[in-house]
Amino acid sequence: MSARRLGTVCWGVTGLVAALTAALPATAGTCPASTTCSTTVTFTVTAPDGLTITVPSGPVNIGSGAPGGQISGQLGSITVSDQRATLAATWTASVVAATGGFTTGGGTAPETIPNTAVLYWSGAATGTTGSGTFVPGQANAAAAQSLDLSRTAFSKTTGSGANSATWNPTVVINVPAGAVAGVYTGTVNHSVA
């Protein structure tokens, strides 16, 4: 047989083997009787939504009061949803009032209630899902904190997997004695990390 013809036959055999190999399903191997044959199986658990916080869009009216008094009301439900499905699924939700405080009219000094006069307490969770420890930043009115600084509103300190927590915080305004009458507007800002 000529070298050229032999080469053609070899290439033909190689192509046939490759085609047969591609057509055969993958196997775990061949095992003798009374022996366990194992196949490795993989799959992926996805975490599509990550870590989010949902707050009332507002405006939220928490009531009215006289100069030198207090105004107190609940903001509505705040929810942290943690769909990261991590082994250490912990998070901290923070809250702070806008730097400029709450203002009416032209926002002059008598028309401004500073954020030092704005207090916040989260209270206990109104609902949770998942495992772990959920901790309110301020469990009751006695623990209320001013919102001139960033404060912990709620946190999850232990646990794994998907989880969520909802709370309905209370905001308290210490109205200055020199405040003028009017509808005051400002923001209370939540975040989670």
Look at residue 180 and tell me if it is in a domain. yes
In this prediction the pTM is 0.79
Q: Are 174 and 67 within 8 A, CB to CB?
A: no
Look at residue 144 and tell me if it is in a domain. yes
The average pLDDT across 113-118 equals 98
Look at residue 70 and tell me if it is in a domain. yes
- Give per-residue pLDDT as tens, 47-82: 778 999 999 998 999 999 999 999 999 999 999 999
CATH number at residue 122: 2.60.40
Look at residue 35 and tell me if it is in a domain. no
105 confidence band (pLDDT: 50, 70, 90): very high
| Spatial CB neighbours of 111, under 8 Å, sequence gap ≥ 6 | 103, 104, 105, 179, 180, 182
Question: What is residue 176's three-state secondary structure?
Answer: coil
pLDDT at 47: 75
Look at residue 17 and tell me if it is in a domain. no
Helix or strand (DSSP H, E) at 80: strand 78-82
The Cα 47–Cα 82 span in angstroms is: 9
Look at residue 58 and tell me if it is in a domain. yes
pLDDT at 79: 98
Which range marks the domain in which residue 168 is found? 51-192
pLDDT at 16: 42
pLDDT at 36: 86
The Cα 73–Cα 21 span in angstroms is: 73
Question: What is residue 35's three-state secondary structure?
Answer: coil
DSSP 89-140: --EEEEEEE-TT-EE-TT--GGGEE-GGGEEEE--S-SEEESSSEEEESS-S
**For the chain, how many structural domains are there in total?**
1
pLDDT at 26: 54
The average pLDDT across 84-88 equals 94
Look at residue 186 and tell me if it is in a domain. yes
Helix or strand (DSSP H, E) at 18: helix 3-23
The average pLDDT across 32-44 equals 85
Average pLDDT along the chain: 88
110 confidence band (pLDDT: 50, 70, 90): very high
